[in-house]
Amino acid sequence: MTGRIAFQGELGAYSHQACREARPDMDALACRTFEDAIEAVRTGEAELAMLPVENSTYGRVADIHSLLPQSGLHILDEAFVRVHINLLALPGTQISQVKQAMSHTVLLGQCRNFLSEHNISRITGADTAGSAKDVAKMGDASVAALASELAGEIYGLEVLARHIEDQGNNTTRFLIMSREANLEPRGSHGMMTSFVFQVRNIPAALYKAMGGFATNGINMTKLESYMVGGSFTATQFYSDIEGHPEDPAVKRALDELGYFTDMLEILGTYPRDPRRD
């Protein structure tokens, strides 16, 4: 066991925060890309990977769903992080001194009201934690960063304003991935199963494939499609359902799904997080 959990981004990123909250006993390993985080687990450099899959405001994280089937990893758990945005600046800085704020373009768009109220212009950075790192290096009191409080702690910045996001429910969902699958123990709040599939080229194939979940009373919480192989005719689907493949109703639904698909791959079965509610 390495005791490491890999994530994409700089130290202080929201993915790093997710690692701290979900696996506080593990050391976080910063990686340049999602592929690097996955590879760190495959090679044994890290034990787990923390990968964001969707955000309540902006939808799914680009590329993740296409990476998961080829990753060779299994979903062990899910984690939810409330994305609080904070204005971070050099120690001793007053808000009145701040003229510009740097962050990832997504975060800049999530706190327009605060920035407008304080007449602060926006600077697009590579990412949130990276912006905090850059602000600390610049040493300019007129430039602040928009990032997590964790980023402020790491790069020696002071929190001038907390939780300045326009929407009060912005949350990112993460998947915790491992080389080995773990079907037990079952969660006290139920189980989730994630899988990808590609339907056969027959009329109404998707409608027929989904029928088994309806007739067996299985709650499907997510169904998304995306193109594969650059083809307009090959569509792959990603889905989350409530339940365990060994549950009789889930087994019947998956068996029926398999009849109408060319490919079906279970990505993982893991405890349902109560924060879904």
Q: Is 2 a catalytic residue?
A: no
Nearest residue to 197 (alpha-carbon basis) of 156, 225, 229, 232? 225
For residue 146 the two structure tokens come to 């928009």
Q: Distance between CA 254 and CA 213 in Å, rounded?
A: 8
Q: What is the largest CA-CA distance in the chain?
A: 66
Owner of token pair 């994409």:
8
Q: Give Cα separations from 195 to 56, 113, 254, 263, 264 (angstroms).
A: 21, 39, 10, 10, 7
* SS3 label, residue 10: coil
Q: Hey, what amino acid is at 210? A: M
Q: Is 124 a catalytic residue?
A: no
**Catalytic residue (one of 7, 114, 174, 237):** 174
Specify whether the CB–CB gap between 108 and 94 falls below 8 A. Answer: no
**Catalytic residue (one of 172, 193, 261, 269):** 172
Helical spans, DSSP H, in 216-247: none
Give the residue numbers annotated as catalytic, written as ranges.
172, 174
